[in-house]
Amino acid sequence: MRDLSQRALDAASAAGASYADCRVINRTVQRLTVKNGVVASVELFEDEGIGIRVIAGGAWGFAGVDDLSAESVEETARHAVRIAKASSRVNRTPVHLAPAPALVGEYRTPVGRDPFRVSLDDKVDLLMRTDEAMSHLPQIRVRECSLEFVREQRHFASSEGAALDQTIIESGGGLDATATSDDEVQTRSFPNSFGRHQVCSGWEAIEAFDLPGNAGRIAEEAVALLTAARCPAGRMTVILDATQAALQVHESCGHPTELDRVLGHEAAYAGTSFLTPDLLGTFRYGSEHVTMTADSTRAPGLGTFGWDDEGVAAQRSVLVDQGIFTGYLSSRETAAAIGQVSNGTMRADGWARLPIIRMTNINLEPGTSSLEEMIATTEHGVYLETNRSWSIDDRRLNFQFGTQNGWEIVDGKRTRLVRNPIYSGQTPEFWGSCDAVAGPAEWHMFGVVNCGKGQPPQSMHVGHGAAPCRFRNVRVEPAG
């Protein structure tokens, strides 16, 4: 990897690049799925290549290739320079990078047990036991559970002298139970919706999920939702469970603090932002209970690493400090545009894609309350669990989210199950109404494996730490 990288950097410099970096990546992905008692799929995917990024004539150029012969790598580097020079003809603002030290080092995800050393038999057995635990209820028509494991070996080098090696390990799993009746379909998921929960960890994370031990309860909840009352409508108190709070953070804080969206460099996937630079340091984003951070050092989130894809070290940055908007997710280029240095959030979903600003672990920091205390001090409201749907406008202001599960709260007690709840609001007003966040004992890190951004599209794995939290005077209604 080091030899290939040096060849790429030398070829780029000789062709006229004023700056160059490259990423050699080898990725292995294993996926297993069991559906309705049958092994539906066992997949092993392996991929390797090099991505070369250069500045020439004040503009970016990028090219990637999966042929790692010396001749191919050197020609790819020259091709990246040709692209940059062509881009410079229409690029009116030369690229300027904020300073960053040229680092040398190694990083590996801490794992207790390498998931790739666990046998297929053991993995299939776990999924079959999970499926069996959901099979006792005839109303459950679709039972699905899955595991996914990722090993990514990355080498980064730059013409400034950086040389960084990383091995990132991810382990994930989840289950879905879908119940049907003559007039209703309901799905419950665990530990998270939309496929699985995933973290940077080893097989020990899968054991901690305890999919077989939770499968029966989740199936029973799906069946109970078939006959549950419709969610009440009106303005009321809303308590979000940690999984839904994590998605709320993702959509209404993570994306709008991406500085490329703010500066107009990126507008795909519902993407500009209301958090413009004139608001930095003064705008009240939320209540004093709301502190949010970007923390790529916090294990075991999917945004945990040693260095980003520009070679900037992992770090913790405060985005919202006790309700005040204080920071962005930035790159060396965008940080320079506002007189700052990068906080290390440039990432690509593989060697064939140009790095762009992506979330790392965007966290709602724990408070001092508890779910029990929040429910006990709520006169009327709903407790909402596990995302079912989301919608947010292109400035990340107005949103509407639905959850799989809801519980009506009356006079401090969780009373009845309600189905198809939806809540909506406007981002600063919503977070401004937050009057409680649960403490560290109920704070958990969740993984999102389907975060889309960019053209051509990139799908990134990101992390979110959150705990149950409460909001006053929120609009709630049933779906449909």
Q: What's the pLDDT band for 91 if we cut at 50, 70, 90? A: confident
Q: Residue 202 carries which side chain, given as an amino acid letter?
A: G
Per-residue pLDDT at 424 exceeds 80: yes
Q: Which of 104-113, 194-203, 218-227, 334-343 has the weakest average pLDDT? A: 194-203
Per-residue pLDDT at 337 exceeds 80: yes
Mean pLDDT rounded to a whole number for the chain: 97
Q: In what order do the strands lie in the sheet with 316-321?
A: 324-325, 316-321, 292-295, 362-364
The whole-number pLDDT of residue 268 equals 79
Contacts of 465 (CB under 8 A, 6+ apart): 246, 295, 298, 301, 361, 363, 364, 365, 443, 444, 445, 446
The whole-number pLDDT of residue 271 equals 79
Q: pLDDT tens digit string along 252-288? A: 999 999 999 999 988 877 679 999 999 999 999 999 9
Q: pLDDT tens digit string along 340-366? A: 999 999 999 999 999 999 999 999 999
CA 476 to chain centre: 26
In angstroms, rounded to a whole number, what is the distance separating the alpha carbons of residues 337 and 161?
A: 24
Q: pLDDT tens digit string along 58-74? A: 999 999 999 999 999 99
Which contacts (CB < 8 Å, 24+ apart) does range 80-83 have? 80/12, 80/17, 80/20, 80/52, 80/53, 80/54, 81/12, 81/15, 81/16, 81/17, 81/54, 81/56, 82/15
Inter-CA distances, 109 with 60, 116, 198, 272, Å: 31, 14, 14, 33
Say what the pTM is.
Answer: 0.96
The whole-number pLDDT of residue 307 equals 98
Q: What's the pLDDT band for 117 if we cut at 50, 70, 90? A: very high
Q: What percent of the chain has pLDDT over 90?
A: 96
In angstroms, rounded to a whole number, what is the distance separating the alpha carbons of residues 167 and 25?
A: 10
More reliable by pLDDT, 266 or 184: 184
Per-residue pLDDT at 195 exceeds 80: no
Any idea how long the chain is? Answer: 480
